[in-house]
Amino acid sequence: MIAVMKEMKPRLHPLKYVMWIGLVSIIMIFAGLSSAYIVKSNQANWLTYKLPLIFWYSTGAILISSITIFLSRRAFVNRKMDRYKLWLSITTILGILFVFLQYWGFKELWASGVTLTRNVSFSFLYVIVGLHALHVLGGVVALVILVIQSYRKHTKVYTTLSIDLMSTYWHFVDILWLYLFFFLLMMG
């Protein structure tokens, strides 16, 4: 019996499993939207647009936030709680900055005539990026909760589960944004 137990691989935590199922679902949603975008872009009435420069800045913000959440997780694992709190707070600020920069970018698009109802190509842009923004906002809410928790209590049960989940999710929305940004640059 002991020999059998030694051979067992460690199981994936149920919350990590659920998160991975959710991430795969999100990938499927965006794969479907990307496919529909490509098919629709062959229509005669498809209009092109140019993404505002501010989207490059938002891309930089989210890329840097992936580095800071990596540093936050590493600090937590090494039990350097002050650094953990600092990097987690910076990640949260960068996530909020990303959302604001996206908002300003869409205000610029709207002012230039790229409105939600003007053309189906513009509608796709708003749906795809808006859906991503919702996922980022969900991540920002989770980051805020983690930051609040990190300042409220001393860790008695030392588990990396929360930061592991947050880090994986945050890296995911970062990679998803990179995909969407370059997809829209090429297709727009």
DSSP 70-100: HHHHHHHHTT-HHHHHHHHHHHHHHHHHHHH
pLDDT along the chain (188 residues), means of 10: 59 85 94 92 85 95 97 95 96 97 93 82 89 94 94 74 94 96 88
Report residue 112: phi and psi, to 5°: -90, 5
C-alpha–C-alpha distance, residues 48 and 172, integer Å: 28
Domain carrying residue 111:
52-187
pLDDT at 122: 87
In a domain, 157, yes or no: yes
In a domain, 178, yes or no: yes
Number of domains within the chain: 1
pLDDT at 113: 86
pLDDT at 4: 54
In a domain, 75, yes or no: yes
pTM score, two decimals? 0.87
- Domain of residue 81, CATH code: 1.20.120.80
pLDDT at 7: 63
In a domain, 87, yes or no: yes
In a domain, 108, yes or no: yes
In a domain, 25, yes or no: no
Q: Are 186 and 49 in contact (CB under 8 A)?
A: no
pLDDT at 90: 98
pLDDT at 138: 95
The residue type found at 17 is: Y
What CA–CA distances, in Å, run from 2 to 5, 8, 9, 10, 12? 5, 10, 14, 15, 21
